[in-house]
Amino acid sequence: MTNINIPEVDLYSDGWANPNPGIWWYGIILSYKGIKKEFYQGFELTTNNRMELLWVITWLSKLKTRSKVQVYTDSQYTINGIQKWWAEKWKQNNWYRTKTEKAVNFDLWETLLELTEKHQVSFTWVKWHNWHIENERCDELATLSMSMDVILVDENYIPNESEKQKTIWSLDRNQNTEKIIQVLWKWDPSLKVEKDGDLCRKCLTPVIKKIPKHTKKTLLKRFYYKYYFNCPWCKTNYMTNEAKDDVKNLKI
């Protein structure tokens, strides 16, 4: 027998990653019987698509009873994945899009499918920044999340090589640079600056090889550097063992 008293809930969200992949901020509004709850959060390294799925999952998971949920989102990726049965087909194929290619974000799609079976969920597309009241408020909340001291880790997100390079070269150095770089170096902390064009470990700018100006004071040392690498952005210098030479070989 159908429960005619099933709760009706509206969910709204907006957010962005900068760069993408990069740090993600989002704002969420949950509306029930005219009462609205607001929430905002940041993730240190993830993608737009993962977060569009995750915010829906997060709030559907918070509903304690079976509910009729209307999700308002500007993410065609999320809507099409459910309404066009993409996710269901991937699940039937053991989460493969093709015979050799695994579906992207399958960990989140699997959870979302489970929740859409638990609740009556429908999706409505909202055009981004089209003066939709709740959408605009979510955008304001996402901006607030940029000032948070603690942001979360998307533990299941593992960037592939193309995503790493995309993040490095699209990095906005005027905003949240330090935090993004700290996360980027978790990909391979063993990387060193050893040649012209390698990325600076502080700001990811390609370094430039330079020849130092030696003086007579250099002769008082046991060795000298034939060259070093300089970051034109943050001015950090990098010395390598390969550039070391015995002072007796130095000609001034």
- Assess if residue 1 is contained within a domain: no
Q: CA-CA distance, 72 to 127, in Å (whole number)?
A: 10
120-125 and 68-73 strand pairing: parallel
What pLDDT digit, counting tens, does each position of 109-130 carry? 999 999 999 999 999 998 866 6
Domain that includes residue 141, residue range: 8-184
Residues 31 and 143 in one domain: yes
Q: In CATH, what number is assigned to the domain containing residue 128?
A: 3.30.420.10
Residues 132 and 101 in one domain: yes
| Residue ending a domain, choose from 184, 202, 223 | 184
For the chain, the domain total comes to: 2
According to DSSP, residue 205 is labeled: P
Write out the catalytic residue numbers: 14-15, 52, 74, 129, 139
What pLDDT digit, counting tens, does each position of 34-74 carry? 999 999 888 888 888 999 999 999 999 999 999 999 999 98
pTM over 0.85: no
Q: CA-CA distance, 147 to 14, in Å (whole number)?
A: 16
Residues 143 and 119 in one domain: yes
Residues 200 and 120 in one domain: no
User: What stretch of H or E contains 145?
Assistant: helix 133-145
pLDDT at 171: 62
- Assess if residue 157 is contained within a domain: yes
pLDDT at 182: 60
Residues 242 and 127 in one domain: no
Residues 95 and 203 in one domain: no
Mean per-residue pLDDT pooled into runs of 10, the chain (252 residues): 77 81 87 92 88 92 94 94 95 93 94 96 84 84 81 83 68 58 61 85 83 80 89 88 86 72
Does residue 233 contact residue 220 with C-beta atoms inside 8 Å?
no
